Structure 1
């Protein structure tokens, strides 16, 4: 046919939709058109196409990549490639490398504008209930290898869909009026054999772990897991270490105590005011990716109790750094050293280092490879509340590590499915996600053990926990935290399904973290899982969920807009005067939440962008995070 783009006879592997299904390999005629890739029975003697055996719509394709051949594979199965779509991987074997390359190139070109393109994939086959590359036992498990860009087409994709419109910068005394740079691409992981320096002490939790001593150097031997690396210390001891506890030696600012990574403006001010030293300072990440800010506490200027000033570190056209004009330096450490001795236009010189290095970041699990936790090592201290699945308690693991323990009441959860998923969820690790440490499944009720956050639920924190009226910066920082946690989930092809202020927690520093992501899939309560049920999150759901129960990352975007509204109303109930039936009717007709009094037009425009009727027109979380960052940069 004239509309056929490519046509070839390939060997197709059966999709093995059940673990017990036997594998088979059959020749099929594959035809690629503008809309789909289809495969047919083929009469090799007569050279004729026979009946259609299956097809995949191109718009549903998430990834096209090569597959490493299995050990001892016959010659006809050496040039495999995979097409990933909703139903899993379709494995195809080409006769030659050049034919395989031709098809992959053409397919990638045709799907480059698809939504939900993957960022990670499995380079090896799924065989008999296991991924050969990473040994994961769940077919839907996220990939273990990062793709180069989004299937190789990131830049074109952003041009086609239209990049977000940056918010116009408002000049302030703290930053120059120059265009803001684009967000830098994700850095590739460091190589094995490199030397790293420990930023924090780490006490081994399992016999496989290796002790870390702050500021000592270690050699990385293996990076088989994104969150845990195998390392050797200077005494020759080997074991696993949390990857976010170390930094590459002689690289970056992490080795300096004055650098407070992942600290926002409000947290910096709290640290400096608590220290209460004239000239106390720290350097933190700016809200604009790749930029840095010096936060300085001064008791001068006549303000009672002192005040905090924030100075953005600027860059000349030659790449030099400066805080004050005419005082340029090749590196940020040289700049800080100079201003430790000279105020040069600031309210004070940098006299005292204030650091947040006391508190290490969360780790993915309680030791390498640990996901099943012995309940004998748990101590229950107090009840925190009752959730959808049962009672939640604060406790200790091994008597010293703070944890939250969800005690799952029987009959509330599809337990076997969740236990399989928990192995994957433990690998999700981000500073704005509540870390899953493990599960206790050998008894009933089962326990879910997570990171403990001392300030509790965001909804309660908004209503009762704020010690004083929040500033615009504080409110926007809360939204930024959630957007960055959700952008990470989005990058891992993870849908939350129940995003709301009640499903976010706040740590002792005021950082907001998203929790309970994906758990709603395992609820067995019809009132909760049906859009007609009284427990269904109607007030946070878009029309496509209310009418058709169609969940996606775009339905999470809608819920994020409602969460922003909760933040800016300090915890009010969305559509508080309407019941669920009225909400379904009126939201479907175009009703949207009003602008909160604390939200200016720019903030409300971000909320409103989440509530577009057509799901595909809503922004991504990465775009939302960037827009919130831009607005926060203006306020700084």
Structure 2
């Protein structure tokens, strides 16, 4: 013990002057002394070890990345989830930042602001979306980027101070209240509580324990092409490469393309001389205002020379009509078809809420991506409702077999005429893209509808589903359901006894 004490004192004396004997600690400016230093070998070894760098972060100034992000232009900054970044200039949705750690350390560029959060805060958790509303949570979770079990935690709208857990379960979003205990803990079920939200998430990520599904990855977020196109929709034509034609119409063609050799896109072109470019670009103007997981997203436009381009997200399987016709029941089940219809009503319910009418809702104007994800497209005829009614100009051509009687005879379009069209779209889905009113001409349809004629229930169509079609085809627009109602009716189909539903066919 004494030996250890002596060695400790000697080590301190060799390292810290204040521990030295004052009698031996005096020196003149010119006198040199032989100093014998006793080195502690363990201390020397530790001194030579590689230590973590001294933290340079300032609370509130350093952020942690919640997700991976790959730069899409030379002005962007790539980073991986967990990297630390320092914002140098904040500009609404996109910040100019410097990388502190990770693949872009000491580099600068633009980053999407909602991909990062202040370090050491709850906001740094990728599943924490405090200001997200219930409807917005459903839109985000049902994005094609999310897989089953995707989730987020947000503030509860109905009860201030409470939290909600929103979880994606087989295409539908379930919501659970997270309650707080007096001691500060949290619980979903009274049978089990947790000290922190992180503990709660970790537990339900391993066990369903009463939830609809185990929590998987946090909800993902999406953006446009890059920082440059957020507020400036115009992009250079030279940045686009058209790869192959996807389709053609009266006014132009649609191509699969690639932007900046990085991002797959769809490019809709206007054939020179076929229509007023202003009318063509009206579609883009409408799409700028409308953002929903079940509506095709606008990326950019090219308008400085002809042909004019509208650039949107690319849907891998093309139109719903073509997709259904190719499948012919080979792999799609009735549950898949109903889910497709429910997705369309979700997008249309959003248009309904925004007071827009589509005027050309049909399977040909719905696009399909991976995993049967459906999005409403072709807003060329979409209009803002004025006093709930839009009156078409005389001579306007209609897709007769999809158009409501009051729109055909009185040129009056409302969201309820879109509901009529949705009933026809449901028929297309059930019949795998078959033309509605088979064996009838447009003229015959126009003559028979006012007399009460309606298409009979398709073969193998559940009565429950045909009843929904029939409600869409009510004579009086006021008697037709809203898209919000149609959405929950189709979603409720999955909660029914499917066998009983199929047994009750007409």
- Shorter-normalised TM-score: what interval? 0.5 to 0.7
Match of 1:426 in 2: 288
Matches within 5 A, 1:94-105: none
Separation (CA, whole Å) in 2 of partners of 1:243 and 1:466: 44
* 1:473 is aligned to 2:345: no
Matches within 5 A, 1:337-356: 337-338=202-203, 355=217
Q: RMSD of aligned C-alpha atoms?
A: 4.6
Separation (CA, whole Å) in 2 of partners of 1:530 and 1:577: 30
* 1:604 is aligned to 2:466: yes
CA contact (8 A) 2:98 2:109 kept: no
Match of 1:447 in 2: 309
CA contact (8 A) 1:476 1:628 kept: yes
Match of 1:494 in 2: 356
CA contact (8 A) 1:364 1:429 kept: no
- What's the offset of the Cα at 1:546? 1.0
Match of 1:585 in 2: 447
- What's the offset of the Cα at 1:459? 0.9
Which of 428, 438, 451 in structure 2 is aligned with 1:566? 428
Which of 534, 544, 548 in structure 1 is aligned with 2:406? 544
Distance 1:195 1:596, change over 3 A: farther
CA contact (8 A) 1:267 1:509 kept: no
SS at match of 1:392: strand
Separation (CA, whole Å) in 1 of partners of 2:289 and 2:70: 19
Separation (CA, whole Å) in 2 of partners of 1:243 and 1:458: 35
Matches within 5 A, 1:301-340: 320-322=187-189, 326-327=191-192, 334-338=199-203
Could you list the per-position Cα deviations for residues 539-595 of structure 1 after superposition, in whole angstroms to 9, with x for gaps in the alignment? 110011110221222211111121122112221211112100011111122222323
Distance 1:346 1:424, change over 3 A: closer
Match of 1:250 in 2: 122
Which of 193, 196, 203 in structure 1 is aligned with 2:71? 203
Match of 2:149 in 1: 282
Separation (CA, whole Å) in 2 of partners of 1:254 and 1:260: 17
In structure 2, runs of 5+ residues without a counterpart are 1-60, 101-106, 129-136, 158-163, 181-185, 384-391, 499-506
Match of 1:504 in 2: 366
SS at match of 1:627: helix
Could you list the per-position Cα deviations for residues 507-558 of structure 1 after superposition, in whole angstroms to 9, with x for gaps in the alignment? 123210111113478xxxxxxx98988x731111001111022122221111
Distance 1:241 1:483, change over 3 A: farther
Which of 236, 240, 243 in structure 2 is aligned with 1:378? 240
Match of 2:417 in 1: 555
More helix by share: 2
Match of 2:269 in 1: 407
- What's the offset of the Cα at 1:234? 6.6
Matches within 5 A, 1:220-259: 221=90, 223=92, 229-231=93-95, 233=97, 250=122, 254-255=126-127
Separation (CA, whole Å) in 2 of partners of 1:234 and 1:445: 39
- What's the offset of the Cα at 1:397? 0.9
Could you list the per-position Cα deviations for residues 282-321 of structure 1 after superposition, in whole angstroms to 9, with x for gaps in the alignment? 3458xxx9774586xxxxxxxxxxxx9x997866999942
* 1:595 is aligned to 2:457: yes
Distance 1:385 1:338, change over 3 A: same
Distance 1:566 1:205, change over 3 A: same
SS at match of 1:473: helix
Aligned residue pairs, count: 397
Separation (CA, whole Å) in 1 of partners of 2:377 and 2:224: 15
SS at match of 1:282: coil
Distance 1:633 1:405, change over 3 A: same
Match of 1:278 in 2: none
* 1:438 is aligned to 2:300: yes
Distance 1:356 1:388, change over 3 A: farther
- What's the offset of the Cα at 1:222? 5.7
Could you list the per-position Cα deviations for residues 586-618 of structure 1 after superposition, in whole angstroms to 9, with x for gaps in the alignment? 112222232334442332333222222222332
- What's the offset of the Cα at 1:448? 1.8
More strand by share: 1
Match of 1:361 in 2: 222
Separation (CA, whole Å) in 2 of partners of 1:364 and 1:427: 16
Could you list the per-position Cα deviations for residues 85-104 of structure 1 after superposition, in whole angstroms to 9, with x for gaps in the alignment? xxxxxxxxxxxxxxxxxxxx
Distance 1:591 1:252, change over 3 A: farther
Separation (CA, whole Å) in 1 of partners of 2:352 and 2:173: 33
CA contact (8 A) 2:297 2:313 kept: yes
CA contact (8 A) 1:609 1:618 kept: yes
Could you list the per-position Cα deviations for residues 40-82 of structure 1 after superposition, in whole angstroms to 9, with x for gaps in the alignment? xxxxxxxxxxxxxxxxxxxxxxxxxxxxxxxxxxxxxxxxxxx
> TM-score, normalization: structure 2?
0.64
Distance 1:405 1:195, change over 3 A: same
Match of 1:621 in 2: 483
- What's the offset of the Cα at 1:430? 1.5
Separation (CA, whole Å) in 2 of partners of 1:420 and 1:260: 28
Separation (CA, whole Å) in 1 of partners of 2:497 and 2:114: 30
Separation (CA, whole Å) in 1 of partners of 2:346 and 2:427: 17
Work out which of the two has the higher radius of gyration on C-alpha atoms and give 1 or 2. 2
